[in-house]
Chain A
Amino acid sequence: DGGITQSPKYLFRKEGQNVTLSCEQNLNHDAMYWYRQDPGQGLRLIYYSQIVNDFQKGDIAEGYSVSREKKESFPLTVTSAQKNPTAFYLCASSAEGAGRQPQHFGDGTRLSIL
């Protein structure tokens, strides 16, 4: 089955620690995205990538980093510089840039601070 797989489902971060959230898709989509969702809030864009080896900052990129070495993979690192990392993180992909084709989402990773 084609889809987007995010792992882990739950993640705990200690003070000063970097953690990496995995996102893999087998939909052969060019574009991939990372969003953060806080309670009662909509989705806010962290980073996006339209093609391999290229990515752009979204609205709230500070304290996060990404890489796009393979078409199917777009991992997100939450660094120690992100002071309020507790949130629900969603990865998405689309065949073309958002707005032309719908984005499809993974099941998310819930990150908490220990």
Chain B
Amino acid sequence: EDKVVQSPLSLVVHEGDTVTLNCSYEVTNFRSLLWYKQEKKAPTFLFMLTSSGIEKKSGRLSSILDKKELFSILNITATQTGDSAVYLCAVGQYYGGSQGNLIFGKGTKLSVKP
């Protein structure tokens, strides 16, 4: 069965800390891995990764994919209270049971304390 596993499920840090969120997957016909940030409502898109070893960066956030070991990490440096959210990892397939749709992990709930 295809699955996406995120760890940890929740994390509490203080402002200024650096955090690493993990996403491992066992998915047939892998096409891409996506990260989203979800605050109260709509998940907002952060990154889409398709190639191993190529880091994507946006401000204090960065992410990298390892297709050999089947995982990705999302790093957040110098965390701020505004980074508090649930971070979702999802994997897209070329085809398969969901016909190329996204399979989501359960998310990591990050709380950043002032």
Contact = CB atoms under 8 A, between A and B. Distances in A.
Contacts of B68: none
Say what secondary structure dominates the interface of chain B: strand
A98 interface: yes
Scoring B42, B45, B107 by chain A CB atoms within 10 A of each residue's CB, the highest score goes to: B42
A31 to B, nearest CB: 9
Interface stretch (B13-21, B54-62, B71-79, B87-95): B87-95
- On chain A, which size bracket covers the interface? 20 to 34
A45 B101 contact: yes
A36 to B, nearest CB: 11
- On chain B, which size bracket covers the interface? 20 to 34
A30 interface: no
B102 interface: yes
A98 B41 contact: no
A44 B45 CA distance: 17
B42 A105 contact: yes
Interface string A70-114: 000000000000000000001000000111101111111000000
A54 B4 CA distance: 28
A43 B99 CA distance: 16
B100 interface: yes
B92 A106 contact: no
B42 A43 contact: no
Scoring B36, B99, B101 by chain A CB atoms within 10 A of each residue's CB, the highest score goes to: B101
A1 interface: no
A90 B92 CA distance: 18
Contact of B101 (A4, A40, A48, A105): A48
A99 B42 contact: no
Nearest to A103: B102
